[in-house]
Amino acid sequence: MAKSLTLNGTAFATLADAKQYLHAKMWSYQVSAPIPPADAPLWCEVLQKHEWYDEYIEHGIAYISVAWSEQNPDLRNMVVVNNQGERKPFSYLKYLGKGPLSKITKVKAALRKEVEQQIADHKATRLRAAERFHVRSPERR
């Protein structure tokens, strides 16, 4: 028996029907422009199924838009733009059919968030070191 799904009050007989509906919606939007406000609750509900949902909404959501997929240039992904201007793409197809997040998924997301800051700090340190190495002082020119 096919799995039914309800998104934002709209019932779909099958997961395939929901994916087809979202695909058509996504392709109706202009790339890089915010989606219509009336559609935001629908995409927020889909986003809730993402394993890094908490990370996506941590700094608030300024808007959601569409972008070309980095993995497949013939596809589009949704992009969450947070209140700090960070753009975080997500594939709705990948997460739509998933149920509640498992404990291991939540742990992985928490670890990723913790390590992400350490990686950013390390990259910043390396960048500062590289800039010092390549910048000449005025008296040496």
Confidence at residue 117, expressed as pLDDT on a 0 to 100 scale: 78
Domain count, the chain: 2
> 129 and 93 in one domain?
no
Range of the domain at 51: 1-100
Average pLDDT over residues 73-82: 86
Could you tell me how many residues make up the chain?
A: 141
pTM exceeds cut of 0.85: no
Q: What are the tens digits of pLDDT across the range 12-55?
A: 898 889 889 998 999 999 999 999 999 989 988 888 877 777 77
DSSP per-residue letters across 3-55: PPEEETTEEESSHHHHHHHHHHHHHHSPBTSBPPGGGHHHHHHHHTTSTTHHH
Confidence at residue 102, expressed as pLDDT on a 0 to 100 scale: 66
Confidence at residue 124, expressed as pLDDT on a 0 to 100 scale: 81
> 35 and 63 in one domain?
yes
> 76 and 37 in one domain?
yes
**What region does 9 belong to: left with phi over 0, alpha with psi -120 to 50, or beta?**
left
**In angstroms, what CA-CA distances link 87 with 26, 34, 62, 70?**
17, 12, 10, 13
Q: What is the mean pLDDT of the chain?
A: 79
Look at residues 61, 45, 44, 58 and name the one whose alpha carbon lies nearest to residue 109.
58
Is the predicted pLDDT of residue 64 greater than 80, yes or no?
yes
> 19 and 5 in one domain?
yes
Cα–Cα dist 26/24, whole Å? 5
